[in-house]
Structure 1
């Protein structure tokens, strides 16, 4: 019984660790989603800006303005690339956190399985003791009945 109590305490500890690992994973996954949204937004802004540039280019723009537009598009490209690199790194962290969470979950499930097996063993032992007690009781009762019959005078 003490083993089960210790294992139950260990299971509770491992459950808390799993919850913490899941929260860490969820947090970084949210950061990945946020970063992906920023990247998509900046990429869309870049495309819109290029379309504006193309429309203005067809109506004619000064060389100096074109250079400014081109420089700004270059800055947007740098921003997109930087966000993309950041997203890749965050995704790697998210993958690591997911693996940590799954490993912790497997550990908790293993302990849960051990507890279940221990409970089955203890239940089996209890049932055997109970059956032995019933058998002993039946045997003693039978012996007493035989002794009583042996004491009674036959008529």
Structure 2
């Protein structure tokens, strides 16, 4: 009876654990996507600056220089925003990982409790069987002893 209840609890815990694991995997993938976007922006900024420097070696007009500076400023803002998104995604993934691990720990604790209960029940049954065997052997001995005494009297 107790094991059935615990089995149901363990099943519920496993389902919750699986959901939390799926959420963690999803959050981890989202974090990796955000990190890739961040790296892409940073790489693009570096390449843009290098290309602009190569073109600028021939000389830049003031309008072109202003456009270059403005565009670099916009890239810097985009990189800053993407950096925040990466940080938030990393924190969310870590939080989901901790939730998943905590649920896993609860499930394992329940499984351990059931296992201990099973061991205790088995030991109780073995002890009862040994008691019954000892009682049977004692009764058999007493019958044989009584039969032997009856044979000796006759």
Q: Deviations over 1:40-85 (max 9, x none)?
A: 0111011000001111111111110111111111111111111100
**In structure 2, C-alpha distance between the alignment counterparts of 1:111 and 1:82, rounded to whole Å:** 44
Question: What root-mean-square deviation, in Å, do the aligned CA atoms of Structure 1 and Structure 2 show?
Answer: 1.1
**Aligned-pair CA distance for 1:153:** 3.7
**In structure 2, C-alpha distance between the alignment counterparts of 1:153 and 1:142, rounded to whole Å:** 16
Matched, 1:25 2:24: yes
Structure 2 unpaired stretches of 5+: none
**In structure 2, C-alpha distance between the alignment counterparts of 1:137 and 1:96, rounded to whole Å:** 61
5 Å-filtered alignment, 1:34-53, equals 34-53=33-52
What stretches of structure 1 move > 6 A for 4+ residues in a row? Answer: none
**Aligned-pair CA distance for 1:154:** 5.7
TM-score under structure 2 length normalisation: 0.96
Structure 1 unpaired stretches of 5+: none
**In structure 1, C-alpha distance between the alignment counterparts of 2:11 and 2:25, rounded to whole Å:** 21
1:67 is matched with which residue? 66
TM-score under structure 1 length normalisation: 0.96
1:93 is matched with which residue? 92
**In structure 2, C-alpha distance between the alignment counterparts of 1:53 and 1:153, rounded to whole Å:** 122
2:116 is matched with which residue? 117
